[in-house]
Amino acid sequence: MKLALIGSNGMLARKVRELAPVGSELHGFDLPEFDLTDRAQVLAAMARLKPTVIINCAAFTNVDGCETQEDLATRVNGAGPGYLAEAAQAVGAVLVHISTDYVFAGDQTSPYREDDPTTPLSAYGRSKLAGEKAIVASGLARYFIVRTSWLYGPGGKNFVETMLRLAVERDELRVVADQFGSPTYTGDLAAAIFRLLALSSPAYGIYHLADLGECSWHGFAEAIVELARLHGEPVKALRVLPIATSDYPLPAPRPAYSVFNKEKYLAATGAALPHWRDSLDSYFRERSQLKKGV
């Protein structure tokens, strides 16, 4: 596998690098040297490399910032994936593109399937949906659009690290309790991507990938604080209080319900995804090892 990893300095890309199959030839592309919004540069870089697989982890992920920079978000999250699809078609590569739960409105009460209507509420969601549509419209046949949710892992800003920082600083945390989803560890997502790529007769298209189970942000925060104590973190917070979304207004609206139906992935690979609580514990163990330099 000759792999072009786009957004190679990001949080998910770190795990893609770690879990790439033995013998893979991995080439990283990221800012400032590589600009995903520059079509000519994208096409030329992929033509020189001639990868067999392109994995796109690059994105403008500042959800609230997208509300005031929607043009930039649409270039990065919308046009850029279209350029990668064009390049993949030109060199005969498979494209893996990472998308998001934000393409949905979050108004369902049952887990979202891949073919459910996409009605994003935010500029970020609209820009990510534009990227999906650009890939589908490109004519590329061999692609995986992988939607995921509530992603966390080593090497990047995420909810787990934010809660840990606040739990050390404050006696009390106030966390939204009326938004529900499935926290997803980057290691689980990267492993699932390589399982899809390893299929002998893959059914290309859109897949929902997230860890099993669901919780609110408040429930996620409670689990983070509980595990932090168990793993010896200097936790100061004594209480994690539930609040409503209306009590914590932000520029971009969030989906109230972001749980995915993962049956398509399970049927394709036969591989079970871990429960989010088990993966959160694994993440804490990994953090402890990284601190010790293991």
Catalytic residue ranges: 124
| 185, 148 contact by CB (below 8 A) | no
Contact (Cβ atoms closer than 8 angstroms) between residue 150 and residue 182: yes
Contact predicate 208/265, CB 8 Å = yes
Residue 188: closest CA among 27, 68, 62, 12: 12
Tokens of 47: 């033509």
For residue 32, is the peptide bond before it cis, meaning its omega torsion is within 30 degrees of 0? yes
Cα–Cα distance list, 265 to 1, 180, 262 (Å): 22, 21, 6
List of residues 6+ apart from 120 with CB closer than 8 A: 102, 103, 104, 105, 126, 128, 129
